Amino acid sequence: MKVSDFFHSLHDFFTEKRFVVFTLSLIFILFLFGLILSDGFTGGAESIWHYNYSHFAFKYPHLLFNSWSKPVFTLLSAPFAVFGFKAMQFFNILLAIAAGLFAYLVAKELKMRQPILAIILCCFTPVFTYNIFSGLTEILFAVTTIITTYLLLKNRYLLASIVVSFLPLIRSEGIFLIPIYAFFLVYRKQYKTVLLMLVGPIIYSVVGGFVNHDFLWLINQNPYSEDIGLYGTGSFFQFIKRSPGYFGIPNELFYVTGLVAGLTLYLRSQKEFSKEFLLVILPFFTYLFVHSFMWWTGLGNSQGNNRYMAAIVPLMAVMSTRGLTLFSLMFEILFRRPWIKIAALYIGILSVIHIPFAVQNYPIGTDAYNKIVAQVGSWIKSNGLDKQKIYFKDSNVPFVLGLNPFDSTKCQSIFLVKSKVNENIEVGSILVYDERFFPTDKNEFDSLVQNHNFELQKVFEPDANFKVYSRDYRMAIFKRIRTDSAILNKNRMVAYGSKEEFRSLVNLNFDRSYHQLDSASIYFDNKNETKCIEINVLKEQFIVNEFDLSTINFEKPLELYLRLKINPQDTLKLPLLYVVEVVKKDKQIFYKEIQLENKDGELNSWFNIDCRVKLPEEISFNGTLKTYFLNRNKGRYLIDDYQLGYCFKR
C-alpha cells in the first residue's frame, strides 16, 4: 500500500464523529492518568467539605438538603464520593469531558468552522483543568450552563427550562443567569416554558421542607446573607486583570478575537447571530460582572478566587473557537499559502494545550497547606490525642484523622461559631486552630494563647511560608482545661518562645483593618493579591497614632517593637522614615527616626522590617507617645502588615 493511500484511508476513517470520540477519549485518558498519579488535590478545605457532604449523604440524608453544600451537586456526586475522594475527582473528570463535548455541539450548532476546537479550548483552559482535580462545584455548573445553551439552540425549550432551574442549586450565582435564559424564551415567544424555571427550587423547597422542617430553607439557610465583606473586598476589575493568568494568554487572545467577531456579526445581522449573543456572550459577561461586583462590594462574601471563572469556561471556549479559526485564517490571507493556515491552527492548539502544564505541576503533589495539615494529624495520633473529642473549623482535620465529621461523639465542627470558643468546647477535648477560618470568625490565635481555659500543646508553621487572607499561615493544637490562670505563661512560652510579653498597639493588614484617616490611600497590589497602603506625595505624615502613656502598662524602660513590610516604588534617594516621639506638657522629650531601607536597594519588591526601639529610662507614665511614617523624600512606597507593640512584662 502506498503511503498516500494509507493517509487517504485514515482520513476516510476519521469522520468528524469518530474524531470527536477519539479526541475526548485521549483527553479522558490523560486526565485519568493525572488523577492516578496525583498525591494531592486542588480546592483546599472547600473540596474536602463538599466531599464530606457527598460521602456521608446516604448515611445522613439531611445532608442532601444543605444550602452551603449545594444540594444538586451533593446528590449527583454522592454515588461517586461514597467510594472515596479520588472517586469524587473522577466524577469531575466525567463532567469536564461532558463540558468539552457540549461546547463542541454548541459551536457546531452555531455553524462555526472546526467546532471540534471547542473541546480542546475548554478542557485545556488552565483554571478549568486545575479545578477538575478538586471536589468543587464549578465544573458541574459549567456543564449545566453549556447544556442549557445547547438545548435552547436545538429548540428543546421545555427540557432546557427544567435543567436551568437547578442551576442556583449547584452554585448560588446561577440565579443571575436564569433571567438571561428567560429573556431568550420570551424572545422566542415561549412564554409558558418560562414558568418551568421554578421546577428545581419548588421540588427542593418542598422535599427539603419536610427534612429541615422549614419550607423556606433555601432562603433561611443562605450562608451568604450576612457578614458583608467577610473575606475582604477588592478591585472591580480584578477578574479582568487576572484573566490572562487563569484563562491562559493564547486562550485570552482567541476568545477576545472571537468576542469582537461575534459582536460585529451580531450588530450587522442581529437576527442571524442573536442566539450566539444571547446564549453564549451574554451569560459569560453576566457571570463575570456578578462576581466582579460581589468582590468589589463584599456582597455574597466572595473570596475573589480565580477558580470561580472555571464555571464559564465552556462559553469562553465557544467564543475562542471562532477566534482561533479567524487567527489561522488571518495567516492564510497575509501569506497567501493554505498550509500556513493549517500550521497556525496547530500552533494555536499546541499553545493552548501547553499552558495548563506550564502553570501547574501535573501530577498534582501535596502542597504546603496539605503538608502542614498532615503534620497536625500525625502529631495528634502519635500523642494519643485522637482518642479525645476533636473540635475544628478546617474540614481537612477530620479528613486526615480518618474521622466522620458528622459524628459529634468523636469530633465537631465549630465553623462560623463567633462567640467565645471555650463556651462551646468540652473540658478535656482538643481544639485544632488554623489561621484561615478562626480569624475569619473573629477567633484570634493570641486571644486563645491568653485564654485561661486552653493549654497550648504545639504550634505548626510551614517550611515554606505562605499567606491566607494576608496572614502568615500556621496551625496549633489546644487542650480545653478547667480555668487556670497559671497556664498563660506556659502558653506564651510555647507560642512565642520568649519570657518577654508584648501587647499590641497597632495591627493593620489593610484587608480587614486599616487606619481610618488614611483609608483613601488604600492600594490593591495585584501581583500579590493583597491590599496595602500607598505612601505618596499627597502629604508628609501617614498613619499618625497618639497614645496616652498613662493608659499603657509597661515595664521601664519602654521598649517598642515594629514589624512591617515595605515596597519602594520609584525612588531610592532617601529611605522612608518611621518616627517615634514623646511629648510631655507640649514639650518634645524624645524623638527618633528609623530608616526603613532595604540593604539590597531593590525597587518594586517587598522586604520585611523587624526592629525594636528602647526609649530612655526617664520616659515615665505621663505624656503622649506619637508614631507615624515620615515621607520627607516625597517618594512612593507601599506598606503592609504594619504592627506596633510594647513590652509590658520581662
Of 353, 407, 409, 399, whose CA–CA distance to 376 is shortest? 399
Q: Cα–Cα distance between 403 and 409 in angstroms, integer?
A: 10
The answer to whether the beta carbons of residues 398 and 356 sit under 8 Å apart is no
pLDDT at 485 over 80: no
| Residue finishing a domain among 497, 531, 551 | 497
Question: Is 502 domain-assigned?
Answer: no
Task: Return the percentage of the chain with pLDDT > 90, whole number.
Answer: 46
Same-domain status, 329 and 188 = yes
| Residue finishing a domain among 497, 532, 562 | 497
| Residue finishing a domain among 462, 497, 532 | 497
Same-domain status, 350 and 372 = no
Q: Return the pLDDT at 328.
A: 77
Q: Return the pLDDT at 612.
A: 86
Instruction: Write out the DSSP string of 376-423.
Output: HHHHHHHTTGGGS-EEESSTHHHHHHT--TT-TTTEEE-TT--S-GGG
Q: Return the pLDDT at 259.
A: 85
Same-domain status, 18 and 114 = yes
**How would residue 229 be classed by pLDDT, with cut points 50, 70 and 90?**
low
Same-domain status, 255 and 128 = yes
The answer to whether the beta carbons of residues 462 and 473 sit under 8 Å apart is yes
The greatest distance separating any two alpha carbons of the chain, rounded to the nearest whole angstrom, comes to 105
Instruction: Give the CA dihedral 180, 183, 189, 194, nearest 10 degrees.
Output: 70
304-349 pLDDT, tens digit per residue, is 888 999 999 999 999 999 988 888 777 776 777 777 778 878 888 8
Q: Considering the entire predicted model, what is its pTM?
A: 0.76
In the block, residue with C-alpha cell 486562550: 251
pLDDT at 644 over 70: yes
For residue 621, the Cα-to-chain-centroid distance in whole angstroms is 47
Same-domain status, 94 and 185 = yes
Question: Is 234 domain-assigned?
Answer: yes
Question: Is 6 domain-assigned?
Answer: no
Same-domain status, 578 and 596 = yes
Q: Return the pLDDT at 234.
A: 82
Question: Is 101 domain-assigned?
Answer: yes
Range of the domain at 236: 13-359
Question: Is 587 domain-assigned?
Answer: yes
Of 181, 313, 327, whose CA–CA distance to 261 is shortest? 327
Same-domain status, 420 and 527 = no
Q: Return the pLDDT at 278.
A: 92
Same-domain status, 412 and 390 = yes
Q: Cα–Cα distance between 236 and 541 in angstroms, integer?
A: 29
**How would residue 538 be classed by pLDDT, with cut points 50, 70 and 90?**
confident
> 391: which strand partners?
412, 431
Sequence-ordered list of residues with C-beta below 8 angstroms from that of 643, at least 6 positions apart, any chain: 504, 506, 507, 508, 561, 562, 563, 564
- Cβ-count burial 548-573 (b if 16+ within 10 Å, e if not): ebeeeebeeebbbbbebbbbbeeeee
Q: Average pLDDT in the 166-179 region?
A: 94
* CA gyration radius, the chain: 29
CA angle 549, 551, 555 (to 5 degrees): 65
pLDDT at 194 over 90: yes
Same-domain status, 314 and 203 = yes
Same-domain status, 187 and 332 = yes
pLDDT at 10 over 50: no
Q: At 568, which CATH number?
A: 2.60.120
pLDDT at 563 over 70: yes
Same-domain status, 487 and 373 = yes
Q: Residue 91 carries which DSSP code?
A: H
Question: Is 563 domain-assigned?
Answer: yes
Question: Is 506 domain-assigned?
Answer: no
pLDDT at 3 over 50: no
Counting every residue written for the chain, the total comes to 650
Instruction: Write the CA distances from 502 to 271, 459, 515, 563, 615, integer angstroms.
Output: 71, 18, 21, 13, 15
457-484 pLDDT, tens digit per residue, is 999 988 777 788 777 889 999 999 988 8
Q: Average pLDDT in the 59-73 region?
A: 92
Question: Is 185 domain-assigned?
Answer: yes
**What are the phi and psi torsion angles at 83 (to 5°)?**
-95, 5
**How would residue 650 be classed by pLDDT, with cut points 50, 70 and 90?**
low
Same-domain status, 260 and 383 = no
Task: Give me the number of domains the chain comprises.
Answer: 3
Q: Cα–Cα distance between 478 and 56 in angstroms, integer?
A: 28
